[in-house]
A and B are shown apart, each in its own frame.
Chain A
Amino acid sequence: MDVLGGLLVVAGAAFLLLGGLGLVRMPDVFNRIQAGTKATTLGTLLSLAGFAGLQPDWTLKLFLIGLFVLFTNPLSSQVLARAAHRAGAEESPLTTVDVLNDEQGK
């Protein structure tokens, strides 16, 4: 159980690292939100699952923390993205289509 828990924590940390790397590499604010807030979702969940393996007594509370992350994470990233778009954040030149801009006549 300890070994499994440890492996899960390491896997979670690897996803968190990838999230950080994405934050640096992605071209504009929307893509960065994608990498920064969501590659980390799986990272956090895996870490929490790993902690549950290491400390079985904490399982229920860790599960609740996981639920909390699942409900709050998308809300915050969605509000960030909406605010960025309304404020007219610059989009990467790689952007192929923006229906929202087209409809608002920008």
Chain B
Amino acid sequence: MRSFALLFLTLFLFWVLLNGSLAPDVLVVGAAAALIIAALFPKALSALTDLRPTPRALLTAVAYVFYFLKELIKSNLAVAAIVLSPNLPVNPGIVKVRTKLKSQMGRMLLANSITLTPGTLTVELAGEWLYIHWVTVDAPDIDHATASIVAGFERYLEVMYG
């Protein structure tokens, strides 16, 4: 029931923002569509699923967005430098890392964040283990790779989702 309501709310909010209008017909159509989709996919995840409803979690979510954007820009510049350098200094490989996160949504956001920052790409997820393709492997063992790929994002996601 909780996940149904959250999915409905997320979809409905998205619809209203996309329309940019609060006219009754728009609201009715949006509510109907959101209701049908939420009923069809009762187990679907929404960004609100598992989010802890505490002020600290919400503040952390905001901080996370900024941290994420910073990482995005930093790693985009790093990849740009690799692509532009004539001898293409890549050192690719697939490494294994471990996450402390327990909730599904937390793990999904972690995998997505890792994939979004260039240079690292989540290939496979198995429970608490993530297999990451890394353009420049500088530490193949689990502990070091975990520290340099996962730890930064995890610090925020742990507070938000646990």
Contacts and interface: CB of A to CB of B under 8 A. Distances in A.
Contacts of A94: 90-92
A31 B90 contact: yes
Nearest to A30: B133
B83 A97 contact: no
A61 B128 CA distance: 36
Contact of B121 (A61, A77, A95): A77
Contact of B83 (A35, A81, A103): A35
A28 B76 CA distance: 19
A12 B76 CA distance: 11
Interface in B17-61: 17-18, 20
A74 to B, nearest CB: 4
Contact size class for B? 35 or more
A64 B18 contact: yes
A6 interface: no
A84 B149 CA distance: 22
Given A64-B14, A95-B93, A99-B96, A38 B124 contact: no
Interface of A: 15, 18, 21-22, 25-28, 30-31, 33-35, 38-39, 41-42, 45, 60-61, 64, 70-71, 73-75, 77-78, 81-82, 85, 91-92, 94-101, 103
B94 interface: yes
Contacts of B94: 30, 85, 95, 97-101
B16 to A, nearest CB: 10
Contact of B112 (A26, A30, A71): A71
B62 interface: no
17 contacts: A15-B76, A15-B80, A22-B83, A28-B92, A30-B92, A33-B133, A34-B133, A39-B76, A39-B118, A41-B72, A42-B72, A75-B112, A81-B133, A82-B123, A95-B93, A95-B94, A99-B131
Contacts of B20: 60-61
Contacts of B91: 94, 96
B119 interface: yes
Highest count of chain B CB atoms <10 Å: which of A60, A75, A98 = A98
B140 interface: yes
Nearest to B89: A94
